[in-house]
């Protein structure tokens, strides 16, 4: 008697090739979705990091600049701002017992904002306030919004442009970043951001610009 053999025929070459093509398409689709999601996550992470750096730095500056000249017990705080450069600001704050001298300065070579604090005329201590800052400017205004100097200054305007910590080679930054003055050329007063109209070099970085005005309570 002959035994019937079932299933010995297997797959034909055409069936195998079709299966391979379908499998390749499925894998390519999965990889494409993964790549898109991964890039989206990376971009969002960079944006979140930039926003945190901006918020932290501006919050610190606003909190202290707003109190410039405060001196309830007459400890000798200077009631004026020292505005020696568009990227440097000096001021004093006194509380009931201590005098603190603040210097906020932008280091255009390193792209950092640093703050130096001197307590009661002693040795100053410097700490970094923000990193990855492409451009930074102080602008000083009176109560009417006009550019001011000396005793007429009642508002400090901050323009701060921060870049992501790593480049994104699938992104080209084509934005023109304008400081609070309205003139992009003003960046060159205090920064190495040489060409704000084309963002050259480093076009592959994400950036965020923040412009804020701080009204001082004691001026």
64-88 mean pLDDT: 88
Instruction: Kindly report, residue by residue over 82-120, the tens digit of the pLDDT.
Output: 887 889 999 999 988 999 999 999 988 888 999 999 999
Per-residue pLDDT, 28: 84
Higher pLDDT among residues 75 and 189, named by residue: 75
Q: What is the mean pLDDT of the chain?
A: 84
Domain ranges of the chain: 37-215
Q: Give the pTM.
A: 0.78
CA–CA distance, 118 with 140 (Å, rounded to integer): 23
Give 89's contacts (C-beta < 8 A, 6+ positions apart): 65, 81, 82, 83, 102, 103, 104, 105, 138, 156
CA–CA distance, 171 with 144 (Å, rounded to integer): 40
> Residue 43 corresponds to which tokens in the numbers above?
């971009």
């Amino acid at each position: 008697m002959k035994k019937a053999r079932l299933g010995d025929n297997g797959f034909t070459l055409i069936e195998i090739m079709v299966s391979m093509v379908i499998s390749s398409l499925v894998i390519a689709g999965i990889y494409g979705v993964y790549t898109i999601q991964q890039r989206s996550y990376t971009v969002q992470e960079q944006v979140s990091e930039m926003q945190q750096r901006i918020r932290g730095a501006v919050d610190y500056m606003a909190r202290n600049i707003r109190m410039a000249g405060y001196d309830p017990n007459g400890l000798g705080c200077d009631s004026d701002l020292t505005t020696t450069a568009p990227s440097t600001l000096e001021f004093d704050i006194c509380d009931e017992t201590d005098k603190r001298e603040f210097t906020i300065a932008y280091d255009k070579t390193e792209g950092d904002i640093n703050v130096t604090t001197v307590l009661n005329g002693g040795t100053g201590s410097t700490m970094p306030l923000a990193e990855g800052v492409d451009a930074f400017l102080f602008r000083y205004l009176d109560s009417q919004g006009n550019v001011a100097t000396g005793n007429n200054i009642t508002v400090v305007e901050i323009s701060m442009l921060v870049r992501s910590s790593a480049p994104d080679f699938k992104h080209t930054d084509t934005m023109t970043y304008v400081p609070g003055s309205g003139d992009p050329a003003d960046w060159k007063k205090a920064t190495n951001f040489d060409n704000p109209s084309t963002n050259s070099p480093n076009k592959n970085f994400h950036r965020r610009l923040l412009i804020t005005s701080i009204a001082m309570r004691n001026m």
